[in-house]
Structure formats: structure tokens, C-alpha cells
Structure 1
Amino acid sequence: MTTRALPPVTTLTEAQQRGWACVWCRAALGIGLGVGLGEQRVRPSAGAAYTWFPRQCPDRAACQVREGS
């Protein structure tokens, strides 16, 4: 699990919201890759509540390098 606060879901791409890409660096995460950050529930001011499942890269150091680029 991460100790960082997750970015607002509204700032993320669809791939990041669905766990297909890293929530931090946007690197593609294949099936069985990445670290799940838990189920997240969003209650927007307008519309229905929904759930999203962010994931991050398994290699945090490489992720931080990509994120800084």
C-alpha cells in the first residue's frame, strides 16, 4: 500500500482510473502486474457514486524516475 495521498480521480486518465496504468507515472500495467492500492469510492457532487481501483508500478524507484520526467 502507498503512504501517499492518491491524486483526485478527476485528474486521472481512464486507464489510470481502471488500473490499466500506474496512478503516478502513467506506465501501462499488464494483467497481474502492478500493486493494487485498494478499492476507492467516489461520490461526485453531480451524478452517481462509483468505485475505482488504482494501481501503481511494482518498482517504485523506476516509477519515481518516470513520474519526474
Structure 2
Amino acid sequence: MSTRVRALPLINTLTEQQRRGWRCVWCRHPLSAGADIDLGEQRARPATGAAYSWFPRACADTGPCAEREAAR
């Protein structure tokens, strides 16, 4: 099985729900425990203001995710 690594989208292009891990960072589909991939805690360091953590997640089923992403 081959694993393709993708760079995360820029945080300023994501909705709050995507930054909090409630929706997929790629297709914006709602996520539920066990039907997602945890992409790990990320740190954002804006040019102004304090650094903060965000918690991206993605759909575990990549086929439908890619279809939804392409349809956007």
C-alpha cells in the first residue's frame, strides 16, 4: 500500500470547523470519530499576534473525499 503525503492547506484558507478538526481539511465533509485521520496538532505562527494550535483531520475514505474535493 502506498501512502501519498500532501502538504496541509494554508490555515487562512480553512473554515473554523476545518481548523478544529470537525470537518475534513480537503473536502469539508463532516467527520466523526473512527471515520477520520488525525493529521496531528499543528502550530500556526501569525505575523502578528500569538501562536496557536490547530487540529486538522481528514476523511479516512480517500476515494469519496477526493470526489467531493474535485466537485468544489
In 1: Cα distance, 2:26 partner to 2:14 partner? 9
For residues 5-64 of structure 1, give each alpha carbon's deviation from its aligned partner in whole angstroms, at most 9, with x where no partner exists: 000001000000000000000000124431000110010001100000100001001100
The count of aligned residue pairs is 69
Q: Which runs of 5+ in 2 are unaligned?
A: none
- The TM-score with structure 1 as length reference comes to 0.93
Show the counterpart of 1:38. Answer: 40
Query: Counterpart amino acid of 1:4?
Result: R
Identity %: 57
Please, which of 15, 18, 27 is the counterpart of residue 17 of structure 2?
A: 15
Structure 1 residue ranges without an equivalent (≥5): none
Q: Distance in 2 between matches of 1:49 and 1:18?
A: 15
Q: Distance in 1 between matches of 2:33 and 2:65?
A: 18
| Structure with larger Rg | 2
Contact 1:2 1:37 (C-alpha < 8 Å) held by counterparts: no
Q: Tell me, yes or no, if the aligned pair for 1:34 and 1:58 is still in contact at 8 Å.
A: yes
Moved over 3 A (4+): none
Residue pair 2:35, 2:61 contacting (<8 A) in 1 also: no
Q: Given the superposition, is the C-alpha separation of residues 36 and 2 from structure 1 closer, same or farther in structure 2, using an over 3 Å criterion?
A: farther
Change beyond 3 A, Cα 1:64–1:20: same
